[in-house]
Amino acid sequence: MKRLGIGTGSAMALMALEPLNSFAQNSDNNTNGNHMTYRVQHGTGEKVSLLGFGMMRLPRDNQELVNRLVDYAIEHGVNYFDTAPIYGRGLNEGIVGAALSRHPRDKYFVATKMSNYDEKLWNLEEAKKMYENSFKNLRVDYIDYYLLHGVGQNGMEALENRFLKNGLLDFLVKEREAGRIRHLGFSYHGDVRVFDWLVDHNDKYHWDFVQIQMNFLDWRHASLEKGGWKVDADAEYLYNKLAKAGIQAVIMEPFRGGALSKMPEDCVAQLKAARPNDTVAQWAFRWVSSHPNILTTLSGMNVMEHLVENVATHSPLEPCTPAENELLEKIADTMQGIPTVPCTACAYCMPCPYGVDIPGNFTFYNNAMNNKQLPEKGTPTYAAKHEQFIKEYNKALPIEARANQCMDCEECLKKCPQGIRIPNQLSRINAVLRGR
């Protein structure tokens, strides 16, 4: 480190040098009249846009907007589009298929998933129906990137029930051999033993890619148990293990579902001082996309403004410098000291049978925490802050959606990819409201 002139002794700073060196080898000027940065898929040599379009949060009732977003994305070089049969209450694949099929098939890669969380779909024939439906919904006769969806949730037992004992994974491998699936991978959340098992069996399954959650906060701080939540593995571990195994990573949650935009004001000020014209989102994307073993960084974009900004950030990507990486590392350490709830607002836990707006509660609480508006007992400002907190909370959430409506039924627990102990966290919010 000394030899390289890195003063802080930070391994993250060393990591920062790697993307810069490898970046040029992985980038490719495109010939489509735009400046999108591409990565080369190792197996086929195809060029995948470093910005991928996560379609999960698209509106269900505005095909015209979806078409415009897709048209803009394709026109500006984005060619990776990610959906799943369970997104948009089962409607997302169809909406995505309608938008994409207006373009030549060689202009886009489509990624979808086997979302067989429901026990009924552990049966091979039922799971095959979900698989076949994806082709119909997407209006394609091959799928470019197919994933086992959300492995790691509920541990090895769930992996065995969903994919191994029933022969489903063997079936999908055969589908890849037949060419109906071009690349096979999995998306991972939760129990790291499942991730390890699958990567360690790469000789058997030959994963073409793996989708992981990665952002500058989760790089080192995802595995810490804090405030009752627990995620098993840091992105640093996941990313490095994939790189070592020669498997390219697709990144989800580069912006932690928007949560990084709620960072404390003093942290935002430090970023502004370093790059006055950049948004926090641009910092987050540049940090993720600078890593060389990434095929594409997914962003869930449902408004044109975000798409335009993210396209600009990747056209071409300006990789983070070692000094910028150090700044983000410092900010991550500061944020890690704040026990926010690591909710990405994905809404997988919804609907709650008792009407609680789970992501709404966590977003409110995190904002208050990040902006130092949480009432702290024993401080001179407690009474005023407490009163303000209650007032704002009541304004933000209707009675039926509030934390005190939680009946502790635990329906939501198994659905949360972040492993958040949702009822415990809601009760923490409730305690603040009650002044306990």
The vertex-221 CA angle with 218 and 224, nearest 5°, equals: 130
Q: Which stretch binds ligand SF4 (CB under 6 A): 43-51, 117-125, 369-377, 406-414?
A: 406-414
Closer of 217 and 406 to ligand SF4 (Cβ): 406
Instruction: Please report whether residue 346 would count as binding ligand SF4 according to CB under 6 A.
Output: yes
Applying CB under 6 A, the site for ligand SF4 has a residue count of: 28
Closer Cβ to ligand SF4, 285 or 362, answer by number: 362
Q: Which of residues 359-398 bind ligand SF4 (CB under 6 A)?
A: 359, 362
Piece in contact with ligand SF4 (CB under 6 A), picked from 33-41, 100-108, 259-267, 355-363: 355-363
Q: Tell whether residue 344 is a contact of ligand SF4 (CB under 6 A).
A: yes
User: At closest approach, how far in Å is the CB of 218 from ligand SF4?
Assistant: 12
Contact by Cβ (8 Å): 81, 110: yes
Return the number of the residue (99 or 231) whose C-beta is nearest ligand SF4. Answer: 231
Report the Cα 134 to chain-centroid distance in Å. 21
The tokens of 385 are what?
């802050």
Site for ligand SF4 in 26-65 (CB under 6 A): none
Nearer to ligand SF4, 323 or 407 (CB): 407
Element of type H or E holding 126 = helix 124-138
Number of H helices, E strands in the chain: 17, 10
Q: Which residues pair with 40 in a beta bridge?
A: 47
For residue 410, the number of C-alpha atoms closer than 13 Å in the C-beta half-sphere is 3
Nearer to ligand SF4, 72 or 354 (CB): 354
With binding defined as CB under 6 A, does residue 352 bind ligand SF4? yes
CA separation for the pair 171, 161 (Å, rounded): 15
Site string for ligand SF4, 302-341 (x = CB under 6 A): ----------------------------------------
Calpha distance 62→53 (Å, rounded): 17
How many whole angstroms separate alpha carbon 231 and alpha carbon 243?
A: 21
The contacts of residue 430 (CB under 8 Å, 6+ apart) are: 403, 404, 406
Residues near ligand SF4 (CB under 6 A) are 343-349, 352-354, 356, 358-359, 362, 406-412, 415-416, 418, 420, 422-423, 426
